[in-house]
Structure 1
Amino acid sequence: MVKYSSRILLRTKPKEMNRLFWIFIFVILGIAQSSYAQGILSSLEFLQYNPDAKSAGMGNTYLGNGRGMYLYGDPSVFGRNEDRLFASYSLAVLPKNALGMTLYNSFSAGYKFQPNWSIMAGFRMQTNPSIPIIDNSGFELGKVKPNDWSIDFGSSVGLSEHWQSFVMGSFIHSYQGLNASGVAFSLGANYANDFSLSQLPIQYSCTLALSNFGWGLKYGKDKKKVELPFAAELGGKLDVPFLANHKVSIAGIMGYELRTSITNRLFGGVGLEYEFMKFASLRAGYHHRNYMNSFTFGIGGHYKFIALDLAYIMTQKNEFNQLRVGMSFGF
């Protein structure tokens, strides 16, 4: 998440204010973003956020994992589960600062037409606190409220008993004092199988994906371009049932940033989940990324067709700590 400067001073003549207003706002916001959080480069980082509260509590290990927010993690997981229809909502909340609170809302739903073919759609939006615009006389001229959103569509296709593929497309709109729109795509393949180890039945799943590739967004008349957070990712999960009603899951993810504007491109995470009677779960994990390392904790519950998950992401900076809540319905 991006922390913006609380005040922007415009030292121009009143007659020039309207003409330069939006261009100046965009430049200031860009400087504030690039100078904070050890390398956060653009508002388009919101495309990398994982709204799935289950996998968020496990070190953001969303590939081959997750519950409800399949579209924004691994659509092939929905292709493999028993539900024919799902709907989900997720909310991420950052601590309130002097300007206000940053929120991240996500909605998604999907339908399985056949056992080997499903479609999904969703909407996600990040809203940041309003930034007051102050002139050199100390008068407030207005406010800018940065926000980013996307409308997303995806599909998973079963290629065989063990292989699934998925594709996702997004229409993105960003407002940072100036408006910009664009498109992004993601695609991947998943392999799942099982084996026995000392008479323990073990199920595993592995996904390889290319995420958020396409053309960067361009803001305003000057066409200031911002890169999409394009990345190659590999992740998966191992499920180990033991005793009658107990299961332990181990998950991992690793990735490499393919855009050229950052230096520390490697990222990854590991997570662990204990599940009791398919009803209650405890989770923990660790996630590493160039601008933010975090410990994650989570709990979850599942009853009939309703699931509720809660995750807390504890970062190096308290202002970036996150609480994520997710609710999903599956039929």
Structure 2
Amino acid sequence: MALSRKLSGYIRGSYLMSSVGVTARGVAASVGVAYEDNFRLADDQVVYSTMALSLDNIGPKLSYRGRTSGGSTDVRGKVSLPSALALRAGLHTALTDDHTLGLALSGGYFYHLRPYYGLYGGVGGEYLWRQMISLRIGASVQMRHMIYSAGVGAHYKGLFLQTAYTYSPDMQQRGTLSLGLSYTI
């Protein structure tokens, strides 16, 4: 939804599925506002900048089920989404009509993930081919834990499918898959 020429608001819905020892599924929404601008470098290369403030992963608890590490006992239950108040800044530039490179910084506060309330921050890079296929890498700090990630996404007319793998020396590896719809009014 365009609020002005450079300011817009958005609502994003997602179906989430994750496997962290057990399989969890659920739905979530994110709402936010973004300011976008651009500037030219000395060689006439256009760089686009974005700053966004959002409330992410609002929704009911995720339902999960699986087996204990020994495989003998079924576990079921519900867990809160990692809801967060987030601030993001990004720069990206088109190298050619088909190839775009970007850099992003993010930070925020987890407010709905007991016992992991607190600040987080990260940096990441993205390569985008024809505004349809994205490859991403990143690193973040959450509650004194370094987390590294790599992912791929497909985007088409507001629909997106993303998958990512995360690694941390201090925590379990995680794989995520999300399918969603992003609609701009």
Question: Which TM bucket (shorter chain)?
Answer: 0.5 to 0.7
Matched, 1:106 2:11: no
Distance in 2 between residues matched to 1:207 and 1:251, nearest whole Å: 11
Match of 2:18 in 1: 92
Distance in 2 between residues matched to 1:232 and 1:306, nearest whole Å: 23
**Are the equivalent residues in 1 in contact too, given 2:55–2:86 (CA < 8 A)?**
yes
* Match of residue 194, structure 1, among 35, 38, 52: 38
Number of residue pairs matched by the alignment: 147
Q: Select the structure of larger CA radius of gyration.
A: 1
Identity between Structure 1 and Structure 2 (%): 25
Residue 211 of structure 1 and its aligned partner are, at CA, apart by 8.4
* Amino acid in the other structure paired with 1:93: S
Greater strand fraction, Structure 1 or Structure 2? 2
* Match of residue 285, structure 1, among 138, 141, 155: 138
Indicate the RMSD between aligned Cα atoms, in angstroms: 3.5
Residue 233 of structure 1 and its aligned partner are, at CA, apart by 4.8
Greater helix fraction, Structure 1 or Structure 2? 1
More off after superposition, 300-309 vs 240-249:
300-309
Paired residues for 1:22-61 under 5 Å = none
Residue 316 of structure 1 and its aligned partner are, at CA, apart by 1.7
Determine helix, strand or coil for the equivalent of 2:10.
helix
Distance in 2 between residues matched to 1:296 and 1:284, nearest whole Å: 6
Match of 1:273 in 2: 126
* Amino acid in the other structure paired with 2:16: S
Give me the TM-score of the superposition, normalised by structure 1: 0.38
Residue 312 of structure 1 and its aligned partner are, at CA, apart by 0.6
Residue 237 of structure 1 and its aligned partner are, at CA, apart by 1.4
Which stretches in structure 2 are left out of the alignment for 5+ residues? 1-7, 58-81
Distance in 1 between residues matched to 2:97 and 2:109, nearest whole Å: 39
List per-residue Cα deviations over 1:146-177 (Å, max 9, x = no partner).
Answer: xxxxxxxx765xxxxxxx4xxxxxxxxxxxxx
* Amino acid in the other structure paired with 1:191: Y
* Match of residue 244, structure 1, among 69, 76, 97: 97
Relative to structure 1, the CA distance from residue 322 to residue 236 in structure 2 (aligned partners, 3 Å threshold; closer, same or farther) is: same
Paired residues for 1:222-233 under 5 Å = 233=86
Matched, 1:78 2:10: yes
Which stretches in structure 1 are left out of the alignment for 5+ residues? 1-75, 80-85, 109-121, 123-153, 157-163, 165-189, 213-228
Match of 2:163 in 1: 310
Residue 311 of structure 1 and its aligned partner are, at CA, apart by 0.5
Residue 77 of structure 1 and its aligned partner are, at CA, apart by 5.9
* Amino acid in the other structure paired with 2:174: Q
* Amino acid in the other structure paired with 1:267: Y
Relative to structure 1, the CA distance from residue 78 to residue 314 in structure 2 (aligned partners, 3 Å threshold; closer, same or farther) is: same
List per-residue Cα deviations over 1:175-222 (Å, max 9, x = no partner).
Answer: xxxxxxxxxxxxxxx42211112312221111346889xxxxxxxxxx
Matched, 1:234 2:87: yes
Residue 252 of structure 1 and its aligned partner are, at CA, apart by 0.6
Distance in 2 between residues matched to 1:231 and 1:311, nearest whole Å: 19
Residue 93 of structure 1 and its aligned partner are, at CA, apart by 1.1
List per-residue Cα deviations over 1:42-61 (Å, max 9, x = no partner).
Answer: xxxxxxxxxxxxxxxxxxxx
